[in-house]
A and B are shown apart, each in its own frame.
Chain A
Amino acid sequence: MVKFLKLYEKIGIFILIVAASIFLAIVSPNFRNLSTILGIIMQGSYGAIIAFGMTLAITSGGFDLSVEAVMGLTSVIIAMLIPTMGFAGSIIIAIVASCFAGLINGLLITKMGISPLITTLAMQVILRGASLLITGGRQVVISQKAFMSIGATEFLHIPTPIIYMIVLFIIFYIILNMTAFGRHIAASGSNEQAAKMSGLNVSLIKTIVYILVALSASIVGVIRTSQALIGIPTMAPGFTLNVLTIAILGGTSLAGGRGNLIGTLFAGIFISMIYYGLNLLHVQIFYQMLAVGITLLFALFIDGLRNRYLETARIRGIRV
């Protein structure tokens, strides 16, 4: 069983993707052409990008429920500032503001010792309220059509969000797996006390992680705003659930200390395939909510099973 679960951790998500691909290829003729597949990957890229940040947060032993509000905040700041500050200025300010929210999350969690659940749940409500305040509850239309070039264009026939996803994947992969900082994140998550004892500044590490989560959410906020050309204060309601589902389905353990970014990347695409499949059935949007919720429970089930078997193996002294 331990072997099976270890194997699942490595290739489980690929099996799911292959199974889903075969299924979709049979039921939908459209699925067999490249542009549909690129479309699915593009739809998956938004969740995957934020899930890269979330993977780091979960690896560090926490999580962040405020990501959808960060997207909304980014969206309204850009829409409000574009007329006066231009593209670069408004994007930079939006991203800086988002990172500041991440910084506050990190400080409340590490310095005040408030649990990530309460901190980020409160931050979610506060940022939503702040975004609505900024626009007065309205959606703000962006009149500069050129702003669409950021997220709604193609580069070498590949939609730009996919390119962003790949670039960010490489960056996050290097951070988590090839740098000392990445090892420190995992160390903080697997055993915080031990990490502190061995001289790591756990507070600083975790704070940076929460800033990175907010940064990744903010980047998706920029992309989505550019595609819609509207600043939406209540952008993507319920998207946090998608992001958490992607990270956990990808094989990152909620117990902390074990992040799997490759799994996250493909889990993002898998969730997008579920959405595509449901769209084929012409069901209402509520069924998507239901599907993601059930997928999350499935991923949690596997994660719980794995933790339990790893625990048993450890007690028996088996090396895994």
Chain B
Amino acid sequence: MDDSKVKFTPKQRAGNFLSSFGLIVILLIIFGFFSSLIPKLYFTWPNFRDMIRFSTYVGIGAIGMTFLIMTGNFDISVGSMLALAGVIGASIAIKIGGFIGVIITIIIATLLGFINGIFVTKLKIPAFITTLGMMFIFRAIAYIYTNNVPQYIQDRFWIFLGNGSFLGLPLPIYIMAICYLIAYLMLKKAPIGRYILAVGTNSKAAALSGIHVDNVKILVFTLVGVFVGVAAVLNSSMLGAANPGMMGDGYEFQVITAVVLGGTALSGGSGSLGGTLLAALIIIFLKSGMSNAQVNSYWQQVATGVVLILAVSLNKLKFWLIGQTQ
């Protein structure tokens, strides 16, 4: 697990090890189940490659959210953030060029994350409700900006980012790997990792020991924006368009599910990037399996809700098992 050094007893280590091992088991069960159910559609290299390629969309967005939930906050505006950054970047790409468009997308998302952070910390209002308001504001601006017209992406560089291959593997996988590597180093090696955990565990104690809690929170909200920006580039690249209404619809739900399923405590203070990555894979493997098995899409919707509740319950169970009260 990617918990920092501040932790912990062997018993807790065992609990943490079990929880990440548990995710691998769930992943294998899901993969095995659909592979035996529909081998010709599911158990093929192209499908496997596509599933991993699509998982980058949730996986990368969930990195920032992992940090954020570790500090005890939420951001439910990520879906709208994805759409707003995507449509602005895509419209710039049409006029100026793909490379600039990609940069603009990430910058816009970063800025939106920063705005969220400022609102949450300076106005002292709970993050979920602030970002709920932002969710609608960002989406409305995306509609207004584009006049509800999808922004098609024809730029070759941008298309290549989401659809290209390198050494036989899709490019997004490398991008995701780099994102996780950077995030891992930040969490383990840089002071910010310790600050995040300190703020999430006990923000009063963190403040008393000289950490500027507000700045840490603003930084983490901004990081959510950065990673959502990268996800926005890949998502619009894979779909070939940035659609103000459809893009990122339900994204916040997938991302939060990935983080929670990955074993990050909702109360903050502990979390795992590896778990988040595995959980993102689980979500996509399950989704792809259900689609390929032609499960009614409404059932899929019900299933995603149930999975989230189960994920939280599993977390509760885990913490109860290792004797840590949340």
Contact = CB atoms under 8 A, between A and B. Distances in A.
Interface stretch (B99-107, B119-127, B228-236): B119-127
A122 B140 contact: no
B132 A241 contact: yes
Contacts of B123: 300-301, 304-305
A180 B168 CA distance: 69
Given A118-B260, A286-B140, A289-B140, A244 B129 contact: yes
A117 B256 CA distance: 11
B302 A118 contact: no
Interface string B248-261: 00100100100010
Contacts of B300: 129
28 contacts: A112-B313, A114-B309, A115-B266, A117-B74, A118-B309, A121-B256, A122-B305, A124-B305, A125-B304, A125-B305, A126-B301, A126-B305, A126-B306, A129-B298, A129-B301, A129-B302, A129-B305, A132-B301, A284-B143, A286-B144, A287-B140, A287-B144, A290-B137, A293-B136, A300-B123, A304-B123, A305-B123, A308-B124
B241 interface: no
Interface residues of B, number: 43
B309 to A, nearest CB: 5
Interface string B132-154: 11111101110110001000000
B129 A254 contact: yes
Contacts of A83: none
Interface of B: 74, 76, 119, 123-126, 128-130, 132-137, 139-141, 143-144, 148, 250, 253, 256, 260, 266, 296, 298-306, 308-309, 312-313, 316, 326
A304 B144 CA distance: 29
Contacts of A112: 312-313, 316
Interface of A: 63, 65, 108, 112-115, 117-119, 121-126, 128-130, 132-133, 137, 238, 241, 244-245, 248, 254, 284, 286-287, 289-290, 292-294, 296-297, 300-301, 303-305, 307-308
A132 B309 contact: no
A307 B123 CA distance: 10
B140 A293 contact: yes
A294 to B, nearest CB: 7
Contacts of A305: 123
Nearest to B138: A293
B81 to A, nearest CB: 13
Given A114-B309, A115-B266, A290-B141, 8 more contacts: A112-B312, A114-B313, A118-B260, A121-B253, A126-B305, A130-B302, A300-B133, A304-B123
